[in-house]
């Protein structure tokens, strides 16, 4: 009498074990890929955050110089741009290294000197100001400030508004050999 009933103590077949192993391997590889992607995104966002902070810092220094009248309104232009009274702008054209802001405290001007800026992070102990701190150079970053005048909207003569200017601050950095750019833009008025 042949019976095809399995006993409750029968085990898994080799094919079932191999299929379970395959599913487990795929799940582990997916988890590992997600972890690598997360770590990579953290690194990218850190680089982008540094670039954005350096752009905002530059904008704030220009606004502060205007508010404290450290520089005149007519100086808040690009080098080579002069007004009717021959007062010229102080901001250098093109990308500049991110270095000390000089005596005037304004980036991308003629008095910027000194070494490339650095950032200091707490080391393995998690405390800033101890011997294991990590210092990172910003040598891979460059900043450009572009100041432009605005035309008066709906003016048939395309007159220029001399009381408002547009400031674009671009910070470039290299990420895995690819240049990335972060831009911060604002309008600045002659009146604080």
Residue 35: predicted pLDDT: 87
| Residue 6 domain flag | no
Residue 33 is inside which H or E element, if any? helix 14-67
How many CB atoms are located within 10 Å of the residue 134 CB?
10
| Residue 33 domain flag | yes
| Residue 121 domain flag | no
Residue 2: predicted pLDDT: 55
Is residue 126 within 8 Å of residue 133, measured between CB atoms?
no
- The domain of 73 spans 14-112+139-189
| Residue 125 domain flag | no
- What confidence tens digit (pLDDT) does each residue in 46-105 have? 889 999 999 999 999 999 999 998 888 888 989 888 777 777 889 999 999 999 888 888
- Say whether pLDDT at 151 is over 90: no
Residue 92: predicted pLDDT: 92
- Say whether pLDDT at 189 is over 60: yes
| Residue 8 domain flag | no
Q: How far is Cα 46 from Cα 54, in angstroms, rounded to an integer? A: 12
Average pLDDT, the chain: 86
| Residue 21 domain flag | yes
When divided into structural domains, the chain yields a total of 1
| Residue 119 domain flag | no
Is residue 151 within 8 Å of residue 135, measured between CB atoms?
no
Q: Of 148 and 163, which is predicted with more confidence?
A: 148
């Amino acid at each position: 009498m042949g019976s095809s009933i399995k006993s409750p103590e029968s085990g898994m077949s080799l094919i079932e074990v191999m299929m379970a192993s395959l599913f487990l391997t795929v799940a582990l590889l997916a988890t590992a890929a997600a972890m690598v992607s997360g770590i990579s995104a953290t690194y990218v966002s850190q680089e982008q955050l540094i670039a954005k902070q350096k752009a905002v810092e530059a904008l704030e220094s220009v606004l502060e110089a205007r508010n404290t009248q450290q520089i005149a309104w007519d100086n808040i232009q690009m080098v080579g741009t002069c007004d009717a009274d021959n007062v010229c702008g102080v901001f250098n054209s093109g990308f500049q290294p991110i270095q000390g802001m000089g005596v005037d405290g304004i980036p991308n001007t003629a008095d910027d000197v000194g070494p490339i800026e650095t950032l200091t992070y707490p080391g393995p102990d998690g405390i800033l100001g101890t011997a294991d701190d990590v210092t990172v150079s910003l040598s891979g970053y460059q900043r450009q400030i572009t100041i432009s005048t605005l035309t008066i909207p709906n003016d048939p003569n395309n007159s220029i508004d001399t009381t408002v200017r547009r400031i674009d601050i671009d910070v470039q950095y290299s990420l895995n050999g690819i240049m990335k750019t972060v831009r911060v833009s604002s309008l600045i008025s002659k009146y604080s």
